[in-house]
Amino acid sequence: MAKIFFATFLVFLHLFEAQTQLHKNLKYYETLHADEITHKIVKRGIKPSINLHNKIREVEFTALGKKFKLILHPHRDVLHQNFRAVTVNSEGNETVVHLDQDSFFRGRVFGESTSHVSAHIDEKNVLTATIILPDETYHIEPSWRHLEKKLPESSNKHMVAYKASDVKLSWEHHNENKNDGENHFVPGRCGYVKEGAELETDDDDDEIEEPEVEAYGGNETPHSERRSKRQADQYEYTPTKTRCPLLLVADYRFFQEMGSSNTKTTISYLISLIDRVHKIYNDTIWQDRDVDGFRGMGFVIKKILVHSEPTKVRGGEAHYNMIREKWDVRNLLEVFSREYSHKDFCLAHLFTDLKFEGGILGLAYVGSPRRNSVGGICTPEYFKNGYTLYLNSGLSSSRNHYGQRVITREADLVTAHEFGHNWGSEHDPDIAECSPSASQGGSFLMYTYSVSGYDVNNKKFSPCSLRSIRKVLQAKSGRCFSEPEESFCGNLRVEGDEQCDAGLLGTEDNDQCCDKNCKLRKNQGAVCSDKNSPCCQNCQFMPAGVKCREAAYSTCEQEARCTGNSADCPKSPAMQDGTICQERGQCRSGKCVPFCETQGLQSCMCDVIADACKRCCRMSINETCFAVEPPDILPDGTPCIQGFCNKGVCEKTIQDVVERFWDIIEEININKVLRFLRDNIVIVVITITTLFWVPTSCLISYFDRRSRHAELKEYNWKQQLDLIHPSDRRRVIHIRVPRQKITLPTRM
């Protein structure tokens, strides 16, 4: 019985650790339900149209103390005109997956002219989005990736919302273990491989370099002086082929963990990720000190391949999707690079859920401006150890060194970093120009160690990277890049020389302010467009004093009002220092500082159930959390140590076992059965204990009592003089001989 209780305790302990996983990654987050988000199609043409912007959406919701109104339009810019998505079984057979391409959106926040939104909305109206505002970036993603132990899988309609400034990346956790002699800090890092062999050597490059591997964040020594390279052509370069066609491959682990064993969910995740990474590259000006730069270089997805099952292999063979618990990261990349199909793409990238040794999050072959070198974009084939390798490849993992799933922002940075190696950038050297301090904007994207994503420079390329990548693009992009397939007028965003953009109505010449060429109808007196500007009404500036933006206590911004001489909503003035903002924090210099930080402490989550729904602080990262005095009860719905707060009580949110059980009965599936058993392990243990162990114990106890009773009777009999054992008494047959009746003769 003690073993059963101990096993149950371990199960509870495991679940407890799972509950705190997301809290380790985020200082603060909130959950949303799909029912809390309103969707409205606000623009439809009178005439039938195949224009993508026929389905303009207004999406509204409130999260993190801010009301969002997103103006979204479908976009397929990141998808190739011949885009294909397939799923592959264990035998290698491909099945085409038909995807709703109109479920991917771009847009802006209404009233924020410099904002950008990248979003995906699935069939359950679950939103995955990145919302970029001038002072903050917000992320929304499905909660099941991180809270699957908390929320019912039968609904899967919950989301997590968080700010970029609240991200605690996995490599920042080392301080928690700095006193633990067995747990040393392993920073999040990636690596790159330089095969360096020339297929056709030049006069000044006639030696073959040995492959070089550098772990991202390792204790490497400074690079030796590299041989001087040919100078790139110093002329103005304006590329016409600006899109790198991608092959994205998800192995079966990634399919199960990040895609929840759903092919379309996996595909949608990858498309959304590449869309965000594409923006980083597309907005970059690739320039050198002495020459003008060019921009608009990015990605387009040509094919997505999802492995739904491990690939079967014959003895002695290796496949990147085979069943293997541990892979050496470089060996995995080399095996992945054997795929013949890679030659049809600019780059091929593998997404896996493996945890690699040394804290490695990704690995990629680095590109070179030398036209005949291998590795990176547009590379020729390469022969090594009897195999033909296609080194236009890389990989990234969704599982960090601590066994946690990476959050969206972390995944974006890792993938963008690996693509940077493929495009020709090595790690930023430790010089002031390319590795500045935090006070000067922080490290750039290609820094040796992983960046947080919140410093100004974290999503930018350093001058060193810009110079390296520029040379590679000049030398090789014409080989395998493609021309973009996109139009600008009609997407509700004012770009380039546009004066306005009324979306579909404008392209059909039905808007009163903006014509089909995205020009204002000045001949009709229009000075602005209602569709693009919050301070515009009936094509005229709104009067001064009209409110155009609500006050936002989460960001310590006062309401903003139109000026009367501009269609743009002016920047909101900062709230006065000391103003109470979100979660009892205080405004300081236009920022909402959490309550604990205003007291010189650190915010944390109490792990004692009695205090789980009280506001808690700690002296430092290694100190114990304590509830503040007087007690401050957290609002309903606030995440706590084992679920969510409800009226001051931390309620454990347990899967609806009955509902999940009937789901399995209605559609028997081994994956559902296994997932049901895994997600309800405590109840399974208790049920098995009740149905099997308890009856068995009672039965054994019954026979034990009978045995002891029999032994006691045996012992007592031996102490008596009775020669017949009590159990044999019934076997002794007592025969009563009838007494013969004697008849006396009668006297005569």
- Indicate whether 747 pLDDT > 70: no
Q: What is the mean pLDDT of residues 375-384?
A: 87
Spatial CB neighbours of 709, under 8 Å, sequence gap ≥ 6: none
pLDDT digits (tens, 9 = 90+) for 68-105: 999 888 888 888 888 899 999 999 899 999 888 888 88
Dist. CA 529–CA 164, nearest whole Å: 32
725 is in an annotated binding site: no
The CATH number assigned to the domain with range 170-200+209-218+242-480 reads 3.40.390.10
The whole-number pLDDT of residue 505 equals 58
**Rounded CA Rg of the chain:** 34
Instruction: Decide: 310 and 323 in contact? Cβ < 8 Å.
Output: yes
Q: Quick check: 145 and 168 in contact, CB under 8 A?
A: no
CA torsion 202→205→207→213, rounded to 10°? Answer: -130
User: What pLDDT, on a 0 to 100 scale, did the predictor assign at position 280?
Assistant: 92
pLDDT higher than 70, residue 741:
no
Q: Decide if 117 contacts 109 (C-beta within 8 A).
A: yes
Q: String of b and e for 343-366 (b: at least 16 CB within 10 Å)? A: eebbbbbbbbbbbbeebbbbbbbb
Lowest-pLDDT choice from 125-139, 316-330, 717-731: 717-731
Q: What is the pLDDT of residue 175?
A: 43
Whether the predicted pLDDT of 58 surpasses 80: yes
CA torsion angle for 337, 342, 343, 345 (degrees, to 10)?
Answer: -130
Distance, C-alpha 645 to centroid of its chain: 25
Helix (H) or strand (E) run with residue 129 in it: strand 127-132
Which pair of structure tokens corresponds to residue 149?
A: 């132990």
Give phi and psi for 540, each to the nearest 5: -130, 155
Is residue 189 within 8 Å of 425, Cβ to Cβ? Answer: no
Would the pLDDT of 491 be above 50?
Answer: yes
**Run of H or E residues at 623:** none
Residue keyed to tokens 């009209």: 546
Counting every residue, how long is the chain?
748
pLDDT tens-digit map of 147-186: 544 445 545 778 889 888 887 755 444 444 444 433 333 4
Parallel, antiparallel, or unpaired: how do β-strands 649-652 and 643-646 relate? antiparallel
401-415 pLDDT per residue, tens: 767 788 888 888 889
Cα gap 176→708, rounded to integer Å: 57
Query: Is 80 exceeded by the pLDDT of residue 537?
Result: yes
Report pTM.
Answer: 0.61
In Å, how far from its chain's centre is CA 453? 14
| Average pLDDT score over the chain | 76
Inform me whether the pLDDT recorded for 647 exceeds 80.
yes
> Active-site residue among 112, 334, 339, 418?
418
Is pLDDT of 243 > 90? yes
Q: Is the dihedral of CA 262, 264, 269, 274 positive or negative?
A: positive
The answer to whether 417 is a known ligand-binding residue is yes
Provide the strand spans (E) within 491-572: 536-537, 540-541, 547-549, 560-561
Please give the pLDDT value at position 727. Answer: 57
Tell me how far apart the alpha carbons of residues 683 and 673 are, in angstroms, rounded to a whole number.
Answer: 14
Q: DSSP letters of 151-201? A: S-TTT--EEEEEEGGGB--GGGGGGGGTT-TT------EEEEEE---BSS-
Ligand-binding annotation for 427, yes or no, is: yes
Quick one: which of 408, 361, 593, 595 has its CA closest to 22? Answer: 408
Number of other CB atoms surrounding residue 20 within 10 Å: 13
**Separation in Å, CA 719 to CA 713, 716, 722, 723, 731:** 10, 5, 9, 11, 21
Average pLDDT of the residues in 603-617: 87
**CB neighbour list of residue 354: distance below 8 Å, 6 or more residues apart:** 253, 326, 327, 332, 397, 399
Contact (Cβ atoms closer than 8 angstroms) between residue 645 and residue 636? yes
- What single-letter amino acid sits at 601? L
**Helical pair 408-422 and 263-282, crossing angle rounded to 10 deg:** 60
Closest C-alpha among 532, 535, 549 to residue 493: 532
Question: Tokens 């003008």 label which residue?
Answer: 292
CA–CA dist 492, 251 (Å, integer): 38
Beta strands 127-132 and 104-109: pairing type?
unpaired
**Which strand (E) or helix (H) includes residue 394?**
strand 393-397
Whether residue 331 is predicted with pLDDT greater than 50 in this model: the reply is: yes
Question: Which pLDDT score, from 0 to 100, does residue 536 have?
Answer: 94
The number of beta carbons lying within 10 Å of the beta carbon of residue 715 is 9
Residues 87, 745: Cα–Cα separation, whole Å = 117
Rounded distance, CA 9 to CA 450, Å?
Answer: 37
Q: Is the pLDDT of residue 222 over 90?
A: no
Give the pLDDT mean for 26-55.
Answer: 68
Give the burial string for 508-540 (b: 16+ CB within 10 Å, else e).
Answer: beebebbbeebebbeeeebebbbbbbbbbeebe
Confidence at residue 185, expressed as pLDDT on a 0 to 100 scale: 38
The yes-or-no answer on residue 212 being catalytic is: no
pLDDT at residue 387 in the model: 85
Nearest to 550 by CA among 73, 67, 85: 67
Residue 481's nearest CA partner among 663, 346, 329, 647 is 346
Question: What are the backbone dihedrals phi and psi of residue 290, each rounded to the nearest 5 degrees, phi first?
Answer: -100, -5
Residue with tokens 């509870």: 12
Query: Which residues, 6 or more positions from 263, have their beta carbon under 8 angstroms from its beta carbon?
Result: 87, 97, 255, 306, 308
Could you give the CA distance from residue 219 to residue 125 in angstroms, rounded to a whole number?
46
Find the largest Cα–Cα distance for the chain. 168
Q: Please name which of 108, 116, 141, 113 lies closest in space to residue 25, comparing C-alpha atoms.
A: 141
Going by C-alpha positions, the residue among 232, 706, 291 that lies closest to residue 475 is: 232
Return the number of other C-beta atoms located less than 10 Å from residue 126's C-beta.
24
The residue with greater pLDDT, 732 or 586, is: 586
- Residue 417: which of 368, 453, 379 has the closest Cα? 453
Name the nearest CA neighbour of 378 among 514, 473, 463. 473
CA distance 309 to 299: 28
- Of 48, 51, 105, nearest in space to 78 by CA: 105
Alpha-helical segments (H) within 607-724: 657-666, 670-679, 681-688, 694-718
CB-based contacts of 647, cutoff 8 Å, min separation 6:
636
Asked if residue 136 lies in contact with residue 163, where contact means CB atoms within 8 angstroms, the answer is yes
